[in-house]
Amino acid sequence: MALALANLQLLEPKTAKPDMLPRLDLGDPAKPDAKARQIELQDKDGKPLAAAVIGKTRFGLYGGARPGVYVRRAGDDQAWLAAGQIDLPTSTTDIIPKEVMDVPTEDVGRVTLGDGGPAPLVIAKDDPKAQAYALQSPPPPEGKKVDDQKLERVASVLGSLTLQDVRPAAEVNVPADAPKARFETWDGVNVEAQILKKGEGDKAEGWVTFAVTAGQPLVPPAAASTAAAAATPPAPDAAAGTPAPAAPAEAAAKKPAVEERVADLKRKVDGWAFKLPDFAGQRLTWGINDLLAAPGEGTS
């Protein structure tokens, strides 16, 4: 923004009448309905260096090769057409990273919707190489099928998850008994989301807080059997008289990477509440009926 402002080149003066300035979106930026926006540059001590009011963009300067913009110096009613372009944010969320976290779907081994509640839904894969997630519990109602695509959508919620707004968690005050969803990765990253729905109808908003911890890696059933066999002390070698040393656990080898990922996620989410897109908030609170396939659809 600072560079764009410095690179503006004044081409020709326009109106200097205060009552005409709003036509160029250069009216008083302090008014509630104003379209003009003021930008001020300050030095390291907070002293003003320059200030300008930015108005309408004019396209098609120099035969359409370059845009222009109507501007005026702050405190001066003289409007100018300047060559160049400057895009100013309309809110603080325009100048912060939108991504809350990115947990790839293939990393997620198990999701529990309604975690800690009376009837949680557990969606999981038996193996990282499995093609689809399955509803492990509870079983679907008799005669009904679960939609595999909906299970996939739940597992993918934390992938490239973006915010619409963010506030200190203390301001949102998500209650302790708010619905929870728990995501567990194969290597032991656990993400717990707690969801608060505010408002109704078109004005409804979903606010979520996250707690990230390091847990135990998820072990597929086949791997668990192999690990159990490997953990059984081998028979003593007749020649050496001592058992062979056990191989180091794979989970221990991955632990530093998991701790690093957990620390990175905690830096992003601790102490904050995020307003998420509607689809994400809804999937975090889906019940059994939301996971069912329409008649003639679904594969589970």
Q: What's residue 118's pLDDT?
A: 87
Q: Give first-to-last CA distance, the chain, whole Å.
A: 53
Strands ordered across the beta sheet of 165-168: 134-137, 121-124, 108-113, 180-185, 189-198, 205-214, 272-275, 165-168
* CA atoms 124, 107, 217, 154: torsion sign: negative
Q: What is the mean pLDDT of the chain?
A: 87
Q: What's residue 242's pLDDT?
A: 40
Q: What's residue 201's pLDDT?
A: 76
Q: Cβ(107)–Cβ(257) under 8 Å?
A: no
Regions in the chain scoring below 70 on pLDDT: 63-64, 221-256, 296-300
pLDDT digits (tens, 9 = 90+) for 224-251: 555 555 555 555 444 444 444 444 445 4
Q: What's residue 241's pLDDT?
A: 43
Residue 206: name the closest of 265, 122, 283 by CA: 283
Q: Cβ(101)–Cβ(210) under 8 Å?
A: yes
Q: What's residue 117's pLDDT?
A: 83
Q: What's residue 297's pLDDT?
A: 58
